[in-house]
Chain A
Amino acid sequence: MKQFFAAANQGIFGYGSPVTMGLFRAILGSFAFINYLMIAIDFDAWFTERGFVPIATAARWNGDSWRFNPLAGVSETWIVAAVYTIVTIAALFTALGLWTRVSTIVLALGTIALHHRNPIILHGGDTVLRQGVILLAVAPCGLACSLDRLLGLAKGKLAGPPREVSLWPQRLVQYQIAVIYFTAVWAKWQGNQWRDGTATWYPPQLTEFTRFPFPEFLDRQPFTMMTTYGTLVVELALATLVFHKPLRKWVLGAGLLLHGVIEYRFNIPLFAFMICSFYVCFYEGQEVSSWARRFGERFKRFKIQVPKMSASPASEAVRATDPFGFLQESSNESPGAARVWSRCIGAWFLLWWPPLWLGWFRKAFGVPGGLR
Chain B
Amino acid sequence: MHPVIKILVIFHCVMILLWSLPNAPQSFQAWLNKGATPEQLANAPRPVGSQWLLVWNHKYFKSSPLHYYLTATGIWQYWDMFAPNPSNLDHWADARIVFADGSSKIVPYPRMSQMPIPIKYFKERYRKFLERANMDANAYLWPPMAQRLALTSTSDPNNLPVSVFLTRHWKYVQPMDKPQPAKYSEYMFYEHVVDQARLKKDLRLAQ
A-side residues, CB < 8 A to B, are 9, 12-13, 38-39, 41-42, 45-46, 49-54, 57, 60-61, 65-68, 108, 111-112, 115-116, 120-124, 127, 130-131, 134, 166, 168, 171-172, 175-176, 179-181, 183-184, 186-194, 198-203, 205-212, 219-221, 224, 267-269
Contacts and interface: CB of A to CB of B under 8 A. Distances in A.
A123 B127 CA distance: 10
Interface string B170-201: 00010110001000000000000000000000
A190 B112 contact: no
B191 to A, nearest CB: 18
B38 interface: no
B68 interface: yes
B30 interface: no
A125 to B, nearest CB: 10
B206 interface: no
B68 A66 contact: yes
Interface residues of B, number: 63
B13 interface: yes
B83 A188 contact: yes
Nearest to A127: B77
Given A46-B125, A121-B125, A184-B79, A199 B85 contact: yes
A208 B86 contact: no
Nearest to A123: B128
A112 B71 CA distance: 10
Given A199-B85, A206-B173, A57 B125 contact: no
Contacts of B72: 65-68
Given A66-B68, A68-B73, A206-B89, 19 more contacts: A12-B9, A39-B125, A42-B122, A46-B125, A120-B132, A123-B124, A124-B79, A131-B75, A181-B79, A186-B21, A186-B22, A189-B84, A198-B175, A199-B82, A201-B175, A202-B87, A206-B173, A267-B120, A269-B121
Among B82, B85, B90, B112, the one with the most A-chain Cβ atoms within 10 Å of its Cβ is: B82
Contacts of A130: 74, 77
